[in-house]
Amino acid sequence: MIAQFINSTLRKVPAWPLYVLGAVPPAWLFYSGVTGGLGVDPVKEMEHQMGLWGLWLIIAGLCVTPLRRWGNINLMKFRRPIGILTFFYIAGHLLIWLVLDVQIPSQILADIIKRPYVTIGMGAFVLMIPLVVTSNNWSVRKLGAAKWQKLHKLTYLAAILGGLHFVWLVKGWQIEPMIYTAVIVGLVALRWIPKRKRVAVAA
């Protein structure tokens, strides 16, 4: 009954407002950085916050299928905007690092090669590019549903790499990034757990 109520309510809610809502946090973050509201190192704070929000969106996107499969809650129409917003948040995280933090091209290249957390993070971002490019109905028709679904399984690898990027980024074994990574791995693993068929019980 609860799932039916949620689904009937969400049918009346369009997906496009997510794009508008998704633009608010980065705008607020930029404003806070410019006006001195992010402390002594606003660039690092913006960089970290955009990456963290990106992880939240990755987890939100990974929750859609398990909620439908085991909770009968259908959020499928929101998965595309969540995925697109995820890409742009991670792209913002990357751009802040490139343009405002490191800035020097030779140092950027050296970091990508020598620092594992940068290498892993860059790999995750590269995997996301074909996903966002094909996040439209034209690509589904052009590729065919089977090939499109196969391509978008890259989401799982990109998500896991994103979690590992966070784990490797922080100094020492901190609990927060490990929790995020464990949640991501758990949500990905749920895809391969077969759903038990309900057995009808005679009255």
CA-nearest of 133, 195, 191, 108 to 157 is: 191
Cα(46)–Cα(79) distance, rounded to whole angstroms?
Answer: 25
201 domain-assigned:
no
CA distances from 192 to 69, 153, 187 (A): 12, 12, 10
Q: What is the pTM of this model?
A: 0.90
Residue 164: exposed, middle, or buried by beta-carbon count in 10 A (0-12, 13-18, 19+)? buried
Domain count, the chain: 1
11 domain-assigned:
yes
198 domain-assigned:
no
Mean pLDDT of 21-42: 93
The answer to whether the Cα torsion of 168, 174, 179, 182 is positive or negative is positive
CA-nearest of 82, 95, 118, 115 to 46 is: 95
200 domain-assigned:
no
Q: What is the pLDDT of residue 195?
A: 62
Higher pLDDT, 150 or 201: 150
Domain that holds residue 154: 2-192
Contact 80, 15 (CB under 8 A): yes
Cα(142)–Cα(198) distance, rounded to whole angstroms?
Answer: 37
Cα(99)–Cα(13) distance, rounded to whole angstroms?
Answer: 37
Cα(162)–Cα(34) distance, rounded to whole angstroms?
Answer: 28
User: Helix, strand, coil shares of the chain as percentages rounded to 5?
Assistant: 80, 0, 20
Contacts of 82 (CB under 8 A, 6+ apart): 18, 57, 60, 61, 64
Q: What is the pLDDT of residue 86?
A: 97
Cα(178)–Cα(169) distance, rounded to whole angstroms?
Answer: 11
Q: 201 falls in which pLDDT band (50, 70, 90)?
A: very low
Task: Kindly report, residue by residue over 118-159, the tens digit of the pLDDT.
Answer: 999 999 999 999 999 999 999 999 999 999 999 999 999 999
